Copies of this chain bind each other. A is one copy, B any other.
Amino acid sequence: MEKTSTFYSDYGIVKRIFLIAILLSFLVSLSAQQEDAKFVKRIFDQALTEGDCYEWLRHLTKDVGPRLAGSPGADAAVHSMRRLMDTLGFDTVYLQPCTVPRWDRGAPASGRIVNNAMIGTRPLAVVSLGNTIGTGPEGITAPIVEVQSLEEVEELGRPGVAGRIVFFNRPMDPTRLNTFAAYGGAVDQRGFGLIVAARYGAKAVLVRSMTTGNDDVPHTGGVALIDTVPKIPALSVSTNDANLLSSLLGNGEVRVHLQSNGRILPPVPSYNVIGEIRGTSHPEEIILVGGHLDSWDIGEGAHDDGAGVVHSLQVFPLLKQLGYRPQRTFRCVLFMNEENGLAGGRAYWEASNAAKEFHLAAIESDRGGFTPRGFSAQGREDVFTDYFSRVNEWLPILEPYGLMFTTGGSGADISGLKSQGGLLLGFIPDSQRYFDFHHTAADVFEVVNKRELELGAASITSLVYLIDKYGLR
């Protein structure tokens, strides 16, 4: 009885100690969570009151302007952003060389419907697609053949395509709430339409602009080229004019004249711009935040991807202003040539993989400067599930700011880091307005909202803070 009593008494003490330990660890974790919530609030407050990203964006879009890889604008952007980074308190700021394709749009393209039985001659809102050759000064006049898919071109084959202008007209699906999903469902026409059409002897390609709206703004963008098919001109046409062409085709042949002036020039050297602060206790674990510094040449690249550039630049200054020194190595990377070659991204990950670096996390911001909604995450299969549950543990801290995590693509520039076994994240802002501006002359500073931009920078900084403080394992 005594023994039993001692046993129970010992057991009781052990149990009590155990319970107290659980309670303590719960309280510690609760208080850590409260502390983190407070720090994240300070990050947001700081971004909204003392953030610099909006003025940096004004500089990048208005003083530097368009900055297609290989152009003087891109050079100016590299040097201007390097100078800016030099003022932000990094340990090291450096340029990482890469070789970028060089493409020159030349004089603006033009297009018109020619002598149509229904409406006579009428101008079309067109723009050359990137990396494409021009039509020559006289232009091309040919009947158009409308298709909804690459497969349809294959079905038509040479008899239906040779000597014609292939008109790709499958719209982005407006019912997709995520407009990037709608983009993904249509952009194959722009990316690969030229190759398929050229293979069967098309004279040129005309692609419906990548937007859900009906408007008069043509959208440029990259096309893929391969050596085994001839290069032919490719242009995009506004959605309103695409609708017009399609409806005219219901009444008979439609002949279109296109004149464009693109030139493919020899590759030139360019650079990624990188700022780094070495981690105090885990310097071997890198946290990267990046956007791409190049832009298309017909706007100011404000949402695409000026926003991502200034988001990335803003992270370390915010942490610094709040007295937080990263334990892990933080790198801000402004990638060159995402739009028409990905040379910068490739140079970065090839160097990093060769040096056996480990990116614990890489976050790309390349979906515009709109109100934050969260992050999409991906990673190597063997580690991803653990990482994904880890970041989701932080939801109580991040949800009040409208942030959540989804699985999905992160960013083109960081995709080659996947094999390192870290977590790749893409910043997701609200996507409803993005394709009003994407790759158009309308993507200018004025269409970026200051608060929305600052909230994006704060969201990314908050996630960097949590990853830096707790790691992912």
Contact = CB atoms under 8 A, between A and B. Distances in A.
A238 interface: no
Interface string A92-109: 000000000000000000
A174 B433 CA distance: 23
A449 interface: yes
Contact of A175 (B48, B212, B213, B449): B48
Given A430-B371, A430-B430, A432-B371, A451 B174 contact: yes
A112 interface: no
Interface string A424-461: 00000010110010000000000001111001000000
Contacts of A402: 177, 373
A371 B429 CA distance: 12
A167 interface: no
A45 interface: yes
A36 to B, nearest CB: 17
A49 interface: yes
Given A48-B174, A177-B44, A371-B371, A449 B430 contact: no
* Best-buried of A175, A452, A455 by chain B (most CB within 10 Å): A175
Contacts of A371: 371, 430, 432
A451 B173 CA distance: 12
Contacts of A44: 175, 177
Contact of A49 (B49, B175, B430, B432): B175
A180 interface: no
A384 interface: no
Nearest to A215: B450
Interface string A215-257: 0000000000000000000000000000000000000000000
Contacts of A452: 432-433
Interface residues of A, number: 24
A90 interface: no
A448 to B, nearest CB: 11
A401 interface: yes
A72 to B, nearest CB: 32
A228 B45 CA distance: 42
Contacts of A174: 48-49, 451
A152 to B, nearest CB: 23
Interface in A88-143: none
Contacts of A213: 450-451
Contacts of A179: 451
B177 A401 contact: yes
A447 to B, nearest CB: 10
B433 A175 contact: no
A144 B401 CA distance: 39
Interface in A385-409: 400-402
A286 B107 CA distance: 62
A48 B214 CA distance: 12
Interface in A168-220: 174-175, 177, 179, 212-213
16 contacts: A44-B175, A45-B175, A48-B175, A48-B212, A49-B174, A174-B451, A177-B401, A177-B402, A213-B450, A213-B451, A371-B371, A371-B432, A432-B449, A433-B449, A433-B451, A433-B452
Given A432-B452, A433-B449, A436-B449, 6 more contacts: A48-B212, A177-B401, A212-B451, A373-B402, A430-B430, A432-B451
The list of the 8 closest CB pairs from A to B, nearest first, reads A45-B175, A432-B451, A48-B174, A432-B452, A433-B449, A371-B430, A48-B175, A371-B432
